[in-house]
């Protein structure tokens, strides 16, 4: 029995999403930019999906632009904010995804001021410090803070940060990749200018996502060479991916509360069993709190002779999990998130992340394996 507990990295595609995509793959082959019948059919499929997606967020379809995923969307937001909105300063945190941090650092090399807001040991943003930073400089500012941390599950008070940005006339971007399809959003109520989405984080296909761009904000495309996405992103659209994204969102939001209860129950059960049966563990950041992202649990295990082989041993035993984020796989660099909140690097940390297809039996198998690994 193999157990997949790395849903924050990517999720298995829902069979109903595949069913929705297959007819489009087979039959909708026209170029959406063409004016003939086949092209118009393809265009109508895309716009139907865009309208469906916008309805889930109480927003206008014209505010959604399809991308290859969250990384592209984050890059586009930061780069066009500097290029087109005259942003001179980016305020972010040391815990952001590298799609934001590395992009902000690259812009800083070109003269943009980059400032980091303080965070506590749970990874929570110091809102007082954020307000101080917003107060002290009147230059055009973009605040970029993720809604939920992909490693330690800390949630940002999205509405409060939006209010602060509005008060001090700053643009607000939130990387919402980990929370799209897992929490409800009302963009009409939130003072947010930019948000991002990747379909594969909620049982949709890889290679498709979107950028939410508030209608009050006008920027130019980052990728040029065509007039697709209303002149905002050049390149022939990923039609079947867009259909899969829309279907995955439909399935996510159709029974959102039920999914939340199920996944939270798995996480709570795993926390209890770990506390009861694996000695010397602790939980990183805010991940064991009931107020954290319910799909992620970050566990710091006691040091042993097989620390460097810990994840490998889990894999051999049929457990797929991640040592922090899976987005930097293949590197030996320690997690910048765990380092920033003071997690000891001489102990192995594992991120277990849950999805709606996981079961109690999966958790039981994982605990059995962990106990066996430590008994070696």
Average pLDDT, the chain: 95
Q: Which of 275, 277, 267, 273 is nearest to 375 (CA)?
A: 277
Please, which pLDDT band fits residue 333 given cuts at 50, 70 and 90? low
Residue 131, classed as helix, strand or coil, is helix
Per-residue model confidence as pLDDT tens digits over 171-201: 999 999 999 999 999 999 999 999 999 999 9
d(CA 79, CA 320): 35
φ, ψ dihedrals at 262, nearest 5°: -65, -50
Provide the angle, in degrees to the nearest 10, between the axes of the packed helices 37-56 and 239-254.
30
Per the annotation, the verdict on 327 as an active-site residue is yes
Residue 246 has which token pair?
């829309």
Confidence (pLDDT) at 375: 66
Q: At residue 334, does pLDDT exceed 80?
A: no
Please, which pLDDT band fits residue 355 given cuts at 50, 70 and 90? very high
Which class is domain 15-254?
alpha beta
Lowest average pLDDT, out of 89-103, 141-155, 170-184, 298-312, goes to: 298-312
Beta bridge partners of 246: none
d(CA 152, CA 296): 7
Per-residue model confidence as pLDDT tens digits over 238-297: 999 999 999 999 999 999 999 999 999 999 999 999 999 988 999 999 999 999 999 999
d(CA 210, CA 63): 10
CB 197 within 8 A of CB 175: no
Q: At residue 324, does pLDDT exceed 90?
A: no
Per-residue model confidence as pLDDT tens digits over 111-148: 999 999 999 999 999 999 999 999 999 999 999 999 99
Count other Cβ atoms within 10 Å, centred on residue 286. 24
Q: At residue 331, does pLDDT exceed 70?
A: no
Task: Find how far residue 217's CA is from the centre of its chain.
Answer: 22
Q: Which of 197, 300, 327, 366 is catalytic?
A: 327
d(CA 317, CA 319): 6
The number of residues making up the chain comes to 376
Beta bridge partners of 98: none
Beta bridge partners of 113: 89
Strands (E) in 7-153, as ranges, are: 64-67, 89-92, 113-116, 141-144
Domain with residues 3-12+255-375, CATH architecture? Alpha-Beta Complex (3.90)
Q: What is the DSSP string of 194-231?
A: EEEEEGGGGT--TT-EEEEE-TT-----SS-SS-HHHH
Residue 331 has which token pair?
């590197």
CB 208 within 8 A of CB 253: no
Confidence (pLDDT) at 325: 47
Domain boundaries, the chain: 3-12+255-375, 15-254
Within 13 A of 365's CA, how many CA atoms are on the CB side?
17
d(CA 19, CA 156): 35
Count other Cβ atoms within 10 Å, centred on residue 48. 14
Confidence (pLDDT) at 346: 86
Report percent pLDDT > 70 for the chain.
97
Per-residue model confidence as pLDDT tens digits over 21-72: 999 999 999 999 999 999 999 999 999 999 999 999 999 999 999 999 999 9
Spell out a b/e string for 89-122, using b for 16 or more CB atoms within 10 Å of the CB, else e: bbbbbebbbebbbebbeebeeeebebbbbebeeb
């Amino acid at each position: 029995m193999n157990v997949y507990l790395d849903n924050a990295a990517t999720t298995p595609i829902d069979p109903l999403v595949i069913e929705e995509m297959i007819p489009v793959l087979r039959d909708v082959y026209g170029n959406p930019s063409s004016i003939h019948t086949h092209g118009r059919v393809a265009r109508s499929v895309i716009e139907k999906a865009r309208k469906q997606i916008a309805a889930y967020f109480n927003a206008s379809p014209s505010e959604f632009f399809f991308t290859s995923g969250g990384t592209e969307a984050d890059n586009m937001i930061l780069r066009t904010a500097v290029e087109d909105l005259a942003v001179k300063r980016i305020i972010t945190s040391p815990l952001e995804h590298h799609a934001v941090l590395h992009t902000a650092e690259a812009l800083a090399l070109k003269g943009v001021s980059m400032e980091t807001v303080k965070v506590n040991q749970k990874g929570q943003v110091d809102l007082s410090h954020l307000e101080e930073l917003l107060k002290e400089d009147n230059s055009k500012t973009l605040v970029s803070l993720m809604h939920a941390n992909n490693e330690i599950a800390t949630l940002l008070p999205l509405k409060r940060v939006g209010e602060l940005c509005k008060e001090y006339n700053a643009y607000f971007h939130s990387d919402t990749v980990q929370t799209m399809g897992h929490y409800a959003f009302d963009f009409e109520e939130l003072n947010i200018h930019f948000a991002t989405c990747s379909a594969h984080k909620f049982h949709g296909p890889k290679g498709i996502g979107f950028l939410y761009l508030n209608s009050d904000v006008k920027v130019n495309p980052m990728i040029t060479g065509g007039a697709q996405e209303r002149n905002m992103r050049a390149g022939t659209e990923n039609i079947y991916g867009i259909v899969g994204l829309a279907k995955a969102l439909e399935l996510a939001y159709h029974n959102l509360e039920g999914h939340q209860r199920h996944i939270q129950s798995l996480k709570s059960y795993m926390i209890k069993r770990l506390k009861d049966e694996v000695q010397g563990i602790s939980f990183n950041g805010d991940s064991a709190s009931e107020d954290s992202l319910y799909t992620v649990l970050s566990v710091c295990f006691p040091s042993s002779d097989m620390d460097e082989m810990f994840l490998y041993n889990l894999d051999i035993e049929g457990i797929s999990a991640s040592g922090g984020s899976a987005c930097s796989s293949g590197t030996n660099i320690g997690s910048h998130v765990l380092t920033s909140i003071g997690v000891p690097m001489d102990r192995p940390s594992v991120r277990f992340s849950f999805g709606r297809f996981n079961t109690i039996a999966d958790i039981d198998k994982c605990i059995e394996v962990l106990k066996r690994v430590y008994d070696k």
